[in-house]
Amino acid sequence: MAASLNPRRPRTAVRTLCLLLAPVFGLSGCAMLPPPPPNDPVTLRVNVFRGSSNTPIYMAMERGDFARRGITPQLQFTPNSDQQRDGLAAGRFEIAVAAVDNAVAMIEVAKKDVVIVAGGDGGMNEMIVRPEIMRAADVRGKTFVVDAPNTAYALIGRKILKNAGLADGKDYKLNPLGGTEARSKSLGSPDSPATMLNPPWTFVAKDLGAKSLGRTVDLFGPYQASGIFVMRPWAQANGGALERFLAAYIEGCRATLDRANKAQVLSVLQKQLKLDQRIAELTYAELTTPGHGMDKDCAMNRQGFENMLSLRAEMEGQWGGRPPAPEKFLDLSFYQRALAHAR
């Protein structure tokens, strides 16, 4: 039936026709469309935080996108970014999905040969505080709860507090408690009055009486948050498997953002994150909000990535305060080839 047609299939058909006609007519444009790698069975260990940024992976699993390419993803959930970074470097898993600033920290601070291969979303973060905190300046003399103090969302929170006239270590303390789920629960204590959270934990915390002082995109600006990073030697030795993984990931992203799939996305969120219908609906709205949620095709947001590097330069004094070009940390060639074959 016409209503069930996939609007992206014409593009796939054009690729197929191009490849068929290239030998006959000498179509040079087809040189940009290499054949997909063979679907040899492979199991990939994928380390993630428990949260809505994994929705493209959940959807790709649900819809058979990985299975169709011979990929069996084994999800591992990390309690904090320190363990994730250490685990990736030690080879305890092949793929990390998290705030890509963690990859930059691995490269620049830990001197690990890591590369970022895909984007994801803008983080959907908000500064969440206890009821008695009326503005960011009220964190003075208190504690700001973070995952790791020197990466990602902690840097955004520290920047927001800096803009409010507060210096960490002087005007407030940092408590490196761990991932978002643990931080959302910490707001139940007066000793943990403020943190950065994203869905669904934003709504879990609000249900417990917490409130928002604003979204990251409004308080800070565009930011490249979640993405995919791997060890560079592994990527070079396993390019076909990585490309197939990314193609399924892209398809999971497209399926998530396609409004026709809303019911399925809600079902997946409820199943994977143990959410009720209301919080799943709220989380879905955040995921699909342009500029705040997932990027189209989970592509890298260059402006957001540049802002992330500038933030690290400012808050950590990295690179003498002058961030390098993004290309130092990126290899999007696997993503680009995957994009050519994604449905």
The answer to whether the beta carbons of residues 237 and 231 sit under 8 Å apart is no
Spatial separation of the C-alpha atoms in residues 263 and 277, rounded to whole Å? 11
277-323 tens-digit pLDDT:
999 999 999 999 988 899 999 999 999 999 999 999 999 999 999 99
Q: Taking the CB of residue 79, how many other CB atoms lie within 10 A of it? A: 15
Please state the domain extents for the chain.
Answer: 42-122+223-341, 126-219
41-71 tens-digit pLDDT:
999 999 999 999 999 999 999 999 999 999 9
Class of domain 42-122+223-341: alpha beta
CA angle 293, 332, 219 (to 5 degrees): 30
Alpha helices in the chain, H assignment, sequence order: 9-25, 55-63, 65-68, 81-90, 101-108, 152-163, 180-186, 201-207, 216-219, 232-237, 239-257, 262-273, 277-287, 302-316, 333-341
Q: Do 126-219 and 42-122+223-341 have the same topology in CATH?
A: yes
What is the full DSSP assignment across 95-113?
EEEEETHHHHHHHHTS---
Instruction: From the options 3.50.50.60, 3.40.190.10, 3.30.70.360, 3.40.50.300, give the CATH code of 126-219.
Output: 3.40.190.10
246-259 tens-digit pLDDT:
999 999 999 999 99
* Residue 266 pLDDT > 60: yes
* Residue 23 pLDDT > 50: no
**Confidence band of 33 (pLDDT split at 50, 70, 90):** low
185-244 tens-digit pLDDT:
889 888 889 999 999 999 999 998 999 999 988 988 899 999 999 999 999 999 999 999
The answer to whether the beta carbons of residues 93 and 46 sit under 8 Å apart is yes
User: In this predicted structure, what is the pLDDT of residue 32?
Assistant: 55
Say which amino acid occupies 341: H
